Amino acid sequence: MSVILFLVILSVLVFVHELGHFLAAKRFGVRVDEFAIGFPPRLFKKKVGETLYSFNLIPFGGYVKIFGENPDEDPAAANGAKDPRSFSNIARWKQALILASGVIFNIVFAWALFSIAYLSGMTTSVSDNSSKYVIDKHVMVIEVLEGSPAARAGIMPGDSFIGIKSGSAATSVVATVEEVQSAVRSSDGSALGLEVLRNGAPLALTVTPEQVSSTSNFAIGIAMDLAGKVKLPIHLAIWEGGKLTVDMFVGIAANLYGLIRDAFMGEADLSQVAGPVGIARLVGDASSLGFIYLLSFTAFISMNLAVLNLIPFPALDGGRILFVAIEAISRRPIKPVVANTLNVLGFGLLILFMLFVTYKDIAKLI
């Protein structure tokens, strides 16, 4: 079921991305020869007007075939003619906008999904601005450090604290992050009884805090936050959805920059990078928590797709935008053989990287 959900979500996101390219090209009067979801062989095709619409067997991707985007495919260009409906003959800024429209549509789509989630009721961090719209406040585990007392006790991200008990004392209800922190610090290394809520079911756990080597404080190795279900009116849902989209874009871009920088220094940690198999598993986890979680996770994937496509790397939209910028500055087109060779090499490297990450995903499952 997780694989089917993942393929459906991927198809929707690819459709949204390619729809951006398609509509922008149509808006500027450029001929679109094909709109495809997936890669050939074709399972279904239908020509409407001048455009062939196809649904293909290999689901990991899609494309819009725009006339003149590859000069080698424009027969008039070889004879020195300039077809006004060719991509290569429109203004550079229009070319850049067509290439960027897929990313723009993915971002707008994520914004819409986040807004719908806020409108329907989304579990999120409680802030002063949204506190009056919050119901079901609870202390949620955001992160569990590997090898920590919490990890050994079986505490997992997403767990919500219901109660905490030290020694023979009565179990106290947990309402704030500070209450958990205080109980851990004052434990002096004695075991604590925890009551947590996981996937809607209560669970009893025991954790023994350990002293942090650099201080005299005790800790169990988790990050927490006060969370709740935020259900906003439509105007605030759109506003908060937009803010979350911007924050997520900046965060993803910063993390990606750090990963690329570390890769050049030979220090990249790829353990947290997920390929198709890993994402499919995460889609299953999100769907088990409810539709709103799945909606939010779909928005998160859409934002990742947008940021990744902006990388100025051959075969990605960012790389093609870079080519357009170089042509605009130099006032002459890049030789088709150079552009095509770089795009093929870039695509090959991306496929190899995806295969490597997929291998890592499968290894983790095994």
The one-letter code for the residue type at 190 is S
Q: In this structure, what DSSP letter does residue 32 have?
A: E
Hey, where are the domains in the chain? 2-120+278-365, 131-230
- Is the Cβ–Cβ distance between 74 and 83 less than 8 Å? yes
Q: Does the N-terminal peptide bond of residue 336 adopt cis geometry, omega within 30 degrees of 0?
A: no
Angular region, 364: left φ>0, alpha ψ -120 to 50, beta rest: alpha
Q: CA angle, 353 as apex, 351 and 358 as ends, to 5°?
A: 95
Given this model, what pLDDT does residue 268 score?
62
The tens place of each residue's pLDDT in the chain, 366 residues long, gives 677 888 888 889 989 999 999 999 999 999 999 999 888 888 888 999 899 999 888 877 788 999 988 766 655 554 445 788 888 889 999 999 999 999 999 999 999 999 999 998 887 777 655 567 777 788 888 888 888 899 999 998 888 888 888 776 667 788 888 888 888 888 888 888 889 888 778 898 888 888 877 667 888 888 888 888 888 899 999 998 999 999 999 998 998 888 777 767 766 666 666 666 677 777 777 777 778 888 998 999 999 999 989 988 888 899 899 999 998 898 888 888 888 888 888 878 877 877 777 776 666 666
Q: CA angle, 111 as apex, 123 and 272 as ends, to 5°?
A: 65
For 207, the enclosing helix (H) or strand (E) is: strand 201-207
- Is the Cβ–Cβ distance between 187 and 211 less than 8 Å? no
CA distance linking residue 188 with residue 219, whole number of Å: 10
Given this model, what pLDDT does residue 73 score?
62
CA distance linking residue 275 with residue 283, whole number of Å: 12
- Residue whose tokens read 């889609």: 283
Nearest one of 251, 296, 306, 301 to 119, comparing CA atoms: 296
Strands, E, within 16-112: which ranges? 32-48, 51-66
CA distance linking residue 53 with residue 44, whole number of Å: 8
- Residue whose tokens read 């936050």: 225
128 in helix, strand or coil?
coil
One CATH from 3.40.630.90, 2.60.40.10, 3.30.428.10, 2.30.42.10 for 131-230: 2.30.42.10
Q: CA angle, 138 as apex, 137 and 141 as ends, to 5°?
A: 140
3-class SS letters over 7-22: HHHHHHHHHHHHHHHH
Enumerate the H helices of the chain as residue ranges: 2-27, 75-78, 92-120, 149-153, 177-185, 234-264, 276-289, 291-309, 317-330, 336-365
CA distance linking residue 36 with residue 38, whole number of Å: 6
125 in helix, strand or coil?
strand
Q: List C-alpha distances in Å: 79 to 75, 139, 331.
A: 7, 69, 20
- Is the Cβ–Cβ distance between 272 and 355 less than 8 Å? no
- Is the Cβ–Cβ distance between 98 and 87 less than 8 Å? yes
183 in helix, strand or coil?
helix
- Residue whose tokens read 């585990």: 141
Q: Is the dihedral of CA 124, 127, 129, 133 positive or negative?
A: positive
Angular region, 167: left φ>0, alpha ψ -120 to 50, beta rest: left
Given this model, what pLDDT does residue 182 score?
86
Given this model, what pLDDT does residue 200 score?
77
Nearest one of 325, 296, 321 to 309, comparing CA atoms: 321
The number of beta carbons lying within 10 Å of the beta carbon of residue 18 is: 20
CA distance linking residue 249 with residue 260, whole number of Å: 16
Given this model, what pLDDT does residue 341 score?
85
Backbone angles phi, psi at 170, to 5 degrees: -70, 150
pTM, two decimal places = 0.79
